[in-house]
Structure 1
Amino acid sequence: MLLTIKNFRKAYHETPILTVPSLQLPAGTYWFRGINGSGKSTFLRTIAGMLPFAGEIWLNEQYEINRHPVPYRLRVNYAEAEPLFPDFLSAYDIIQFVAKAKQATRTQVACLAEQLGVDAYWKTPTGTYSSGMQKKVALLMAFLGQPALILLDEPLTTIDDRAAQILYDLIHERQAAGVSFGLASHQDVGQSTLPIDRVFLVENGLLQSV
């Protein structure tokens, strides 16, 4: 089982945001739908290990997010919906740091940078980047290393059609290699293009299969 979630509860200042009593997801690709503010981004960020929560999240029945944080985070990658980076750092600076943490090779970094076109502004400070350029940097980082699960929040936001097709190609490549995906979006993520195994609706603080 890829993900096993038990007694999950996320709240802000005692206000419940999302409750998932029990969920088991085998390896595959999942689309979490919901309007803005529904909690889908919070769910992905929590699975990525970025937010505290009550309950348990297990990866591959081996690594629990709070008990085994290092091996868990090594195997789960995440891209923000609207990434923001320190203005003075370049894509190169940021990606080198993340690549080391994710145990990515130089060859992998170079190939991804070329595919996504990030190499065109590799050494330029991110403070000069458009939102689309920043998004590509975040997407690149999500594919670094050898993750078991890649989480993409609003993956199509701010990127053009050509970049979207490149992203679809990258997802297909990783799917073929056995990598699972969690996609959170209020948009159609391209079910005709991507094989989606299951769709969930995030609504009224609950996660429902549709």
Structure 2
Amino acid sequence: MLALKSFRKSFGDNLVLDIPELNFAPGIHWVKGKNGSGKSTLFNCLAGLSPFTGEVVLNDVNLHKSPQAYKLRLNYSQSEPTFPEFLSGSDLLDYFAQLKQALPEQVSELKQSLGISDYADRPSGTYSSGMLKKVSLAIAFLGQPDWIILDEPLITLDKEAQDLIAELISNNSQAGTSFIFATHQDFENTKIKANHSYEVNNKTVSIIS
């Protein structure tokens, strides 16, 4: 269970999100909402990248009280990832593999399956947006997370890469990993079906199915 209680996020005096209580049960969850509604802001907070007030608890681990333990259990791929341009894809994957306690074999497998190996040793500053997205998505699957959050996982990817991501989600879901994702594209296909859908609107999150 990923639980939010008395969750509030503001930028200065501007209240962006106000969620009294929200519980994500294990499974696959699709979060919808217009641009600027607060989806990415919510995800950044859940990933521990942006401050907020209130509580976020993954099973028995509180993000504020035990951030390191929490972040071992939850991985995140941003909508438009950015990395230091001098670091290569291999550098980034090796660094996050250490943080996420991932085995080298897993890094190699993700590189191969997502087609990163061909450019992994080049500086990320030379990558296209699609290349950067694949590296970010590979990082999100490192280790043994209980939850993976994917913000717009399909943008900038070709059809083949989209199918690979769908297969990764399906395989990991069957192995017990839960997912929260946001996308403007139809992500429900023969391999993936969300258990619940939500909408971010009017500064809160409501379940719609």
- TM-score after normalising by structure 1: 0.97
Q: Shift in Å at residue 191 of structure 1? A: 4.9
Secondary structure at the aligned position of 2:118 is classed as helix
For residues 188 and 195 of structure 1, the distance between their equivalents in structure 2, rounded to whole angstroms, comes to 10
2:148 is matched with 150
2:110 is matched with 112
Q: Shift in Å at residue 186 of structure 1? A: 2.7
Map Cα deviations across residues 16-37 of structure 1 (whole Å, 9 max, x no partner): 1111101122101101101111
Q: Is the 8 A contact 1:36 1:186 kept in 2?
A: no
Secondary structure at the aligned position of 1:120 is classed as coil
Q: How does 1:1-210 map to 2 (within 5 A)?
A: 2-60=1-59, 62-210=60-208
Map Cα deviations across residues 66-103 of structure 1 (whole Å, 9 max, x no partner): 00111100110000101111111100111110000000
Query: Which stretch of structure 1 is more off in the superposition, 12-21 or 147-156?
Result: 12-21
For residues 187 and 34 of structure 1, the distance between their equivalents in structure 2, rounded to whole angstroms, comes to 12
Q: Shift in Å at residue 107 of structure 1? A: 0.4
Q: Shift in Å at residue 192 of structure 1? A: 5.0
Query: Which amino acid letter does the alignment assign opposite residue 82 of structure 2?
Result: L
Map Cα deviations across residues 13-68 of structure 1 (whole Å, 9 max, x no partner): 121111110112210110110111110111111101111001000101x1000001
Secondary structure at the aligned position of 2:192 is classed as coil
Q: CA RMSD in A?
A: 0.9
- Identity, in percent, stands at 43
For residues 121 and 101 of structure 1, the distance between their equivalents in structure 2, rounded to whole angstroms, comes to 23
Structure 2, unaligned runs of 5 or more: none
Q: Is the 8 A contact 2:29 2:197 kept in 1?
A: yes
Q: Shift in Å at residue 190 of structure 1? A: 2.5
For residues 150 and 157 of structure 2, the distance between their equivalents in structure 1, rounded to whole angstroms, comes to 13
Q: Shift in Å at residue 206 of structure 1? A: 1.4
Q: Shift in Å at residue 193 of structure 1? A: 3.9
For residues 11 and 39 of structure 1, the distance between their equivalents in structure 2, rounded to whole angstroms, comes to 11
Secondary structure at the aligned position of 1:78 is classed as strand
- TM-score after normalising by structure 2: 0.97
> Hey, which bits of structure 1, 4+ residues long, moved more than 3 A?
none
Map Cα deviations across residues 121-180 of structure 1 (whole Å, 9 max, x no partner): 110011111000000000000000000000000001100100000000000110011000
For residues 33 and 184 of structure 2, the distance between their equivalents in structure 1, rounded to whole angstroms, comes to 5
